[in-house]
Every structure is written in structure tokens, then in C-alpha cells.
């Protein structure tokens, strides 16, 4: 192969590549993204055997665990108090309805058993 032939072939290939790239750019839909970026990574991510996120953030994990347990405890106390109060009211209603010895609960009599 002659040098002039290789040179002409390289020029034709460069022009064809440039034309194809220009055609792709012109035909592409306009991007609607507000941002763009380029990321470059060399090699694989580093493996660090002594890095342990649990122990690094252990205090923060403990704080959130204690806070969650405290909230659950308070919610359980509120629920139990509500149920105790409901049971007490239910018992009081039952006593008022079923107490035949004291007439003043029903609103008649003088409270001493006389009518």
C-alpha cells in the first residue's frame, strides 16, 4: 500500500466518522435535564476489612433504639390506662343498673329505702 492511499483512506474515514457524529447529534431529541455530569472511575472499589459502619454509628443506633422502646412503652401505658378506665366505667354502669338495695341510684326514693 502506498502512503498516499493510506492517507486518503484515513481522511475519508475521519470525514465519515465526523459526518455520522454530526448526524447523530442533529437527530437526537433535545435533552430536558437541568443537570448533567461525567463520572470517571479507575479500578474497582477499595475493600477495607477493618471498616465497620455498625460500630462507627453504634451510639446513634443505640439512641434510636432506646427512643423507639421508650415510645412503645409510653404507648402501651396509655393503652392500658385507657382499657382500665373503660373497664372501671363499665363496672360502674353495671353496678348502677344492678344495685337493687339502693334506690337513690335510679333516681327515686330518698336513699334510705323508703318510697
Domain assignment present for 111? yes
pLDDT digits (tens, 9 = 90+) for 6-25: 888 888 888 999 888 887 77
Is residue 92 a part of any domain in this protein?
yes
Three cell numbers, residue 12: 475519508
- Number of domains, the chain: 1
Burial class (CB in 10 A: 0-12, 13-18, 19+), 88: exposed
Tens digits of per-residue pLDDT, 69-108?
999 999 999 999 999 999 999 998 888 887 666 555 555 5
Residue 6 belongs to a domain: no
Q: Kindly report whether the global pTM for this prediction surpasses the value 0.85.
A: no
Q: How far apart are CA 88 and CA 68, in angstroms?
A: 30
Residue 44 lies in a domain: no
Q: In terms of residue numbers, what domain contains 60?
A: 56-115
Q: Tell me whether residue 1 is in a domain.
A: no
Amino acid at each position: 500500500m502506498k502512503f498516499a492511499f493510506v492517507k486518503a483512506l484515513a481522511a475519508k474515514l475521519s470525514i465519515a466518522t465526523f459526518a455520522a457524529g454530526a448526524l447523530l447529534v442533529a437527530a437526537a431529541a433535545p435533552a430536558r435535564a437541568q443537570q448533567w455530569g461525567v463520572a470517571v472511575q479507575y479500578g474497582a472499589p477499595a475493600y477495607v476489612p477493618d471498616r465497620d459502619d455498625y460500630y462507627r454509628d453504634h451510639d446513634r443506633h443505640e439512641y434510636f433504639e432506646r427512643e423507639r422502646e421508650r415510645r412503645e412503652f409510653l404507648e402501651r401505658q396509655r393503652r392500658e390506662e385507657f382499657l382500665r378506665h373503660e373497664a372501671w366505667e363499665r363496672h360502674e354502669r353495671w353496678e348502677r343498673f344492678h344495685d337493687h338495695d339502693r334506690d337513690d341510684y335510679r333516681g327515686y326514693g330518698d336513699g334510705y329505702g323508703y318510697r
